[in-house]
A and B are shown apart, each in its own frame.
Chain A
Amino acid sequence: MGYLDGFKVTFRKLFEERLTKDYVKDKGGKRAKPTRLHGRHVLNRYEDGMEKCIGCELCAGVCPARCIYVRGADNPPEDPVSPGERYGYIYEINYLRCIHCDLCVEACPTEAITETKLFEFSFSNRQDAIYTKAELMVDDEGKPKQLPWEDWTDADEIVPHTSAWVRATSPSGAAAYEGRVAWSGELGFGVRPPEVGQSRPESEVDTHEADVILSHPGEPGGHPVDTPIEELGRVGEPPAPDEGGEQRDGGEEAHH
């Protein structure tokens, strides 16, 4: 019918299932977060409680949005704040400017600054936009501190993921180090396991192998979150053929 075919198309849409999901605020309604979601930052501490930040200001230097303000100070000899010579005396992030690019996380030599999966922190005050050192520093259990305006439903699942980016690629950017632990432990969590490898395997033919290796913990088609470290990145039994397509989608996404 030429011109009128379009009417059929739109009319059919009336009865199709909607792909949009509701934004659920209640407990258990949040979807699993991708491994590398960039939420708000935390300042990490070593397992003995010392701060990781050494006040080097590399994060502030690399920040394209210029939202980080750091001032370092010498560690007091009798009661040192960090293991190094100096420590971060002032540390502020302005979230009205931050673009969550994670360059600060990459620049940090001590993995002091990482990004959490917390993204619901709509403040209504300019002063609240500036997170100070006291607000960014993890508490004694290694968890971020909740600020009054932050929305923390499903906190048990989301809050423990205080870092990921540092473990996402191979340390130093060298593929040979892929999967090796090259980071320090975190207060409350210890040394975190490495993420599944990034590079494509040599055997491009075996797409199933590539799928498994490229998949991420906890994501659709990826490893379950509680997979032991030794098992990560290992190729298991091939799944049933009808599930294969789904896995490949997840893998492709992770690769790019």
Chain B
Amino acid sequence: MIALDPLLEGGIGLAEVLIVVLKTVVAFGLLLGSVILMIWFERKILGDLQNRIGPNKAGPWGMLQTLADGMKLILKEDNIPDKADRRVFILAPFLSAVPAFVTFAVIPIAGAFDGDDDGVVSLFGHDTYLQLADPPIGVLLILAMSSIAIYGVMLAGWSSGSKYPLLGSVRGAAQMVSYEAALGLATVAVVMLAGSLSTHEIVATQAGNGYDLFGAIPIPRWNVIATGLVPFVIFFIAGTAELNRPPFDLVEAEQELVGGFHTEYSSFRFALFYLAEFMNTITMSAIMVVLFFGGPAGPTFDVLPGWLWGLIWFSVKLIVFLFVQVWIRATLPRFRYDQLMNLGWKALIPLALGWVLLLGAINIGRDADWNMAAVVGVSFVALVVGYMGLAGAVAIAQRREESRSEEVIG
């Protein structure tokens, strides 16, 4: 089985290939178009949040600012430093940009999920999902791609033959290693609940209303509630760190490292990094929408075709996330390097691990018909004991470190 998409069941002919090509072009154009809008949106909202005006000259409300910037960058001199490792230097921006596109391929962006359709639409007489590909290992692909994207940063810094980019890329590598684990563990919680790694399946399990609050107010069956909020918060923080966005932008850190890994880049190569950064912001927000907020799932009404409602819900959720990303950027100052490491290793990873264990215990308890209160209680006690053990170990290590440094100094 190469994919779960109903399009590819029963043989692949010319029509299927053409439909996939069409979907590729549409997905590519959609992502590129939304990146252009995202850059404008970010700069405009950032301006609003900082009591500035933001771009307002190019086009209505400055919407064409990105195009103007792109034109400028393309027309600039493409400079490769003498000390650079030429081949790697040229490769790096593509390593950064391509994974962002590939990740977007597994995001379901439309389709009606609340009826019997299950997100399937008919395209030229062929049933298919409104996502470019639905591999059975969708979530793994996302994690893999976000790991590959860091190679762009690392190789760019290393191949520049300059110290600031190198410092930036070393930071990038350390940050990635620290936060990848928390990101993966937060995803495990979702995968455990959905019972599938396919993004389409994850959305489908979140469709419809799961619970009724006070018997009247319907609450969607989103994973953010089902997994108990904590995995989402961890995923959000780790995802922001993975994107190298503020407050985790130590990789670029203008005030310390000039521009970090892309200091030596100019012209179109720089534009690719810039594009990749915003593309990753969009895809990471889309992933969060899919994993925790039901993706395109939502109520449909007869006014418009069902698949379009999926697109509308998806877009609304996405825009809310993008706004929050910008809001965070406008509000929080950059983490110090040791703070970054502390947050990653001492807070997020233990918490994510503990939460996965808790969810696992609840799942097993439900399957085995154990007393749920006892399961949750025992699990919590185990978590608290584990956390206290960790905190104690950290404190002891710290005290030892301090006394050692005192010996050295005194």
The size of the chain A interface, using a CB distance under 8 A, is 11
- Is A9 at the interface (CB under 8 A from chain B)? yes
Residue of B nearest to A20 (CB): B53
Is B327's CB under 8 angstroms from A10's CB? yes
- Is A14 at the interface (CB under 8 A from chain B)? yes
The size of the chain B interface, using a CB distance under 8 A, is 10
The distance in angstroms between the C-alpha atoms of A6 and B49, with both chains bound, is 11
Mask of A2-42 contacts with B, CB within 8 angstroms, 1/0: 00001101110110101110000000000000000000000
* Residues of chain B within 8 A of A16, CB atoms compared: 51
B323 to chain A, nearest CB (A): 10
Of A10, A19, A20, which contacts B330 at CB under 8 A? Answer: A10
The distance in angstroms between the C-alpha atoms of A41 and B190, with both chains bound, is 71
The distance in angstroms between the C-alpha atoms of A20 and B47, with both chains bound, is 11
Mask of B50-62 contacts with A, CB within 8 angstroms, 1/0: 1111000000000
Main secondary structure of the interface of A (DSSP, over half): helix
Is A10's CB under 8 angstroms from B53's CB? no
The distance in angstroms between the C-alpha atoms of A157 and B327, with both chains bound, is 44
* Residues of chain B within 8 A of A19, CB atoms compared: 51
The distance in angstroms between the C-alpha atoms of A13 and B51, with both chains bound, is 6
Residue of B nearest to A14 (CB): B48
Is B327's CB under 8 angstroms from A11's CB? yes
Q: Which of B31-83 contact A (CB under 8 A)?
A: 48-53
Q: Which of A48-69 contact B (CB under 8 A)?
A: none
* Residues of chain B within 8 A of A11, CB atoms compared: 49, 327
Is B52's CB under 8 angstroms from A14's CB? no
Of A6, A14, A18, A20, which contacts B332 at CB under 8 A? Answer: A6
- Is B398 at the interface (CB under 8 A from chain A)? no
Is B48's CB under 8 angstroms from A7's CB? no
Is A7's CB under 8 angstroms from B331's CB? yes
The distance in angstroms between the C-alpha atoms of A13 and B327, with both chains bound, is 11
Mask of B299-331 contacts with A, CB within 8 angstroms, 1/0: 000000000000000000000000000010011
Is B52's CB under 8 angstroms from A10's CB? no
The distance in angstroms between the C-alpha atoms of A6 and B330, with both chains bound, is 9
The distance in angstroms between the C-alpha atoms of A254 and B50, with both chains bound, is 30
Mask of B279-312 contacts with A, CB within 8 angstroms, 1/0: 0000000000000000000000000000000000
A58 to chain B, nearest CB (A): 44
A107 to chain B, nearest CB (A): 41
Interface residue ranges, B against A (CB under 8 Å): 48-53, 327, 330-332
Closest 10 pairs (CB-CB, A-B): A10-B49, A6-B331, A10-B331, A13-B51, A10-B330, A20-B53, A14-B48, A7-B331, A13-B49, A18-B53
